[in-house]
């Protein structure tokens, strides 16, 4: 048993001592069986939320209406969820109501895939109601129960299928795959933020190529903004992912945007449809600007300067892309830039006002922009005196 579970054993013991059942469930059990490191330990219990809260000194109501209480113990938080069933899905997404139950079996039945439906007892015994262990051995991703029904209940599960297939390098079982094909349009009912989470994980999976190709083969992409049309760009992207995986969300999305051939402006529109954070949009826009130039050939110092903090992302993505660029060379050219941002210029608006008596206006802005460009290009030293002399010359020329 991994240390993370061992550390959480006292929680199971406390709950059981009070006469309830408690198990480790979900992704951490699956990942342990796969020999992978685990992150969060999830617990399922027959105790109702109020009963859980009564047993522990420190708890937080993280999702009490779904039965989830976070138990805080030795600086760790453990999501503890009451066994539940989800009934009557009328909108293909959230259950109309969750019902707390006392039966583990009922709780495992509502889970999405057989390999996500294990329970682990405090004694290290695996409870496997749906032959998940054999699917695990065969590297198969299979819906729990009737796939069709399960995707009707929650259409996000179709995205989760391609996501887990990509992450685990499992093949999607035939009936499960067919049910995705038959029900792909239901994905339109899912909030883009939820689809985004799964898609972003897919793109970083070790079998991302397979996941993406199944996503396309089942037509899920037709219900994903900006990806409705499958062309060589999207397929080419899948092929790139065969050899290397992006190491983070930003790189994954940058590579996608780059392979789709979007302009920086279109990239912004695309990413906003996906409700990406402003930070991510900003980084990707700057990255795409430079990547598109690299695609055309050599770039100027100014292009590197404009990329700014996005430079590392650009280089990471360039390496994954079909571009043939001297990544180390670009990095050292960036490092060697005389200034990295306007703030590092040895002369600023304050100097213009104080030393040349100028007031803000078009000429004022033009002088500063020119100094910035010339310093970045290496045409002027970044020293106050040099820049003052240049500013003076420009100001005098403008007067004539």
- Nearer Cβ to ligand ATP (1/398): 1
Binder among 45, 116, 196, 245 for ligand ATP (CB under 6 A) = 116
- Tell me which of ligand ATP, Mg ion, none is bound by residue 184, counting a contact when its beta carbon lies within the kind-specific cut-off of 5 to 8 angstroms: none
Q: Which stretch binds ligand ATP (CB under 6 A): 3-11, 149-157, 222-230, 257-265?
A: 149-157
Nearer residue to ligand ATP within complex by CB, 156 or 318: 156
What does 154 bind: ligand ATP, Mg ion, none (CB cut-off 5 to 8 Å by kind)? ligand ATP
Known binder of ligand: residue 150?
A: no
Minimum distance from CB of 129 to ligand ATP (Å)? 12
Q: Which of Mg ion, ligand ATP, none has residue 116 at its interface (CB below 5 to 8 Å by kind)?
A: ligand ATP
Q: Are 267 and 284 in contact (CB under 8 A)?
A: yes
Q: Which of residues 20-79 bind Mg ion (CB under 5 A)?
A: 27
Question: Which residues in 322-361 contact Mg ion (CB under 5 A)?
Answer: none
SS3 sequence of the chain = CCHHHHHHHHHHHHHHHCCCCEEEECHHHHHHHCCCCCCCCEEEECCCHHHHHHHCCCEEEEEHHHCEEEEEECCEEEEEEECEEEECCCCCCCCCEEEECCCHHHHHHCCCEHHHCEEECCCCCEEECCCHHHHHHHCEECECCCHHHHHHHCCHHHHHHHHHHHHHCCEECHHHHHHHHHHHHHHHHCCHHHHHHHHHHHHCCCCHHHHHHHHHHCCHHHHCCCCCCCCHHHHHHHHHHHHCCCCCHHHHHHHHHHHCCCCHHHHHHHHHHCCCCHHHHHHHHHHHHHHHHHHHCCCCHHHHHHHHHHHHHHHHHHHHCCCCCCHHHHHHHHHCCCCCCHHHCCCCHHHHHHHHCCCCCHHHHHHHHHHHHHHHHCCCCCCHHHHHHHHHHHHHHHHC
Report the residue number, 157 or 285, with the smaller CB distance to ligand ATP. Answer: 157
Give the nearest distance from C-beta 208 to ligand ATP in angstroms. 14
Give whichever of 24 and 305 is closer to Mg ion, judged by the CB atom. Answer: 24
157 annotated ligand-binding residue: yes
- How many residues sit in the footprint of ligand ATP (CB under 6 A)? 11
Is 40 marked as a binding-site residue?
Answer: yes
- Single residue of 5, 23, 24, 26 touching ligand ATP by CB under 6 A: 26
Asked if 157 is part of the footprint of ligand ATP (rule: CB under 6 A), the reply reads yes
Looking at the Cβ atoms of 161 and 371, the one nearer to ligand ATP is 161
Residue 157 contact among Mg ion, ligand ATP, none, beta carbon within 5 to 8 Å by kind: ligand ATP
Is residue 390 a contact residue for ligand ATP (CB under 6 A)?
Answer: no
- Name the minimum Å distance from CB 197 to ligand ATP: 8
Is residue 211 involved in binding ligand ATP (CB under 6 A)? no
Q: Which does 156 bind (CB under 5 to 8 A by kind): ligand ATP, Mg ion, none?
A: ligand ATP
Residue 35 gets the label, from left (phi > 0), alpha (psi -120 to 50) or beta, of left
User: What CA–CA distance (Å, rounded) separates 135 from 148?
Assistant: 19
Annotated binding residues, written as ranges, equal: 27, 30, 40, 42, 111, 154, 157, 160, 163
Q: What residues make contact with ligand ATP under the rule CB under 6 A?
A: 26-27, 42, 111-112, 116-117, 154, 156-157, 160
List residues binding Mg ion (CB under 5 A).
Answer: 27
């Amino acid at each position: 048993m991994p240390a993370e579970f061992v550390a959480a054993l006292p929680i199971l013991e406390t709950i059981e001592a009070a006469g309830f059942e408690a198990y480790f469930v979900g992704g951490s059990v699956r990942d342990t069986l796969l020999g992978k490191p685990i992150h969060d330990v999830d617990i399922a219990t027959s105790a109702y939320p109020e009963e859980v809260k009564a047993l522990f000194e420190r708890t937080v109501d993280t999702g009490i209406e779904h039965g989830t209480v976070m138990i805080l113990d030795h600086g760790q938080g453990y999501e503890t969820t009451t066994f539940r069933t989800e009934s009557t899905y009328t909108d293909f997404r959230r259950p109309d109501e969750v019902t707390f139950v006392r039966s583990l079996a009922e709780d495992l039945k509502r889970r999405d895939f057989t390999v996500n439906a294990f329970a682990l007892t405090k004694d290290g015994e695996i409870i496997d109601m749906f032959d998940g262990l054999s699917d695990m051995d065969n590297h198969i991703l299979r819906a729990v129960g009737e796939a069709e029904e399960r995707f009707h209940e929650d259409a996000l599960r179709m995205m989760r299928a391609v996501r887990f297939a990509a992450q685990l390098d499992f093949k999607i079982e035939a009936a499960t795959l067919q049910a995705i094909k038959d029900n792909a349009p239901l994905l339109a009912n899912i909030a883009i933020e939820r689809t985004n989470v799964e898609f972003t994980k897919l793109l970083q999976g070790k079998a991302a190529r397979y996941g993406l190709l199944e996503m396309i083969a089942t037509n899920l992409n037709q219900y994903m903004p900006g990806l409705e049309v499958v062309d060589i760009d999207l397929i080419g992207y899948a092929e790139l992912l065969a050899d290397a995986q992006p190491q983070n969300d930003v790189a994954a999305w940058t590579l996608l945007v780059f392979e789709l051939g979007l302009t920086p402006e279109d990239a912004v529109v695309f990413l906003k449809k996906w409700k990406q954070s402003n930070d991510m949009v900003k980084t990707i826009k700057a990255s795409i600007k430079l990547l598109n130039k690299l695609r055309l050939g050599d770039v100027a110092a100014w292009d590197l300067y404009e990329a700014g903090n996005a430079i590392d992302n650009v280089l990471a993505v360039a390496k994954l892309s079909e571009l043939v660029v001297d990544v180390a060379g670009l990095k050292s050219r960036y490092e060697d830039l005389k200034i990295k941002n306007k703030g590092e210029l040895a002369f600023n608006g304050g100097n213009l006002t104080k030393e040349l008596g100028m007031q803000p206006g078009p000429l004022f802005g033009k002088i500063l922009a020119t100094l910035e460009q010339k310093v970045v290009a290496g045409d002027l030293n970044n020293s106050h005196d040099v820049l003052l002399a240049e500013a003076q010359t420009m100001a005098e020329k403008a007067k004539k």
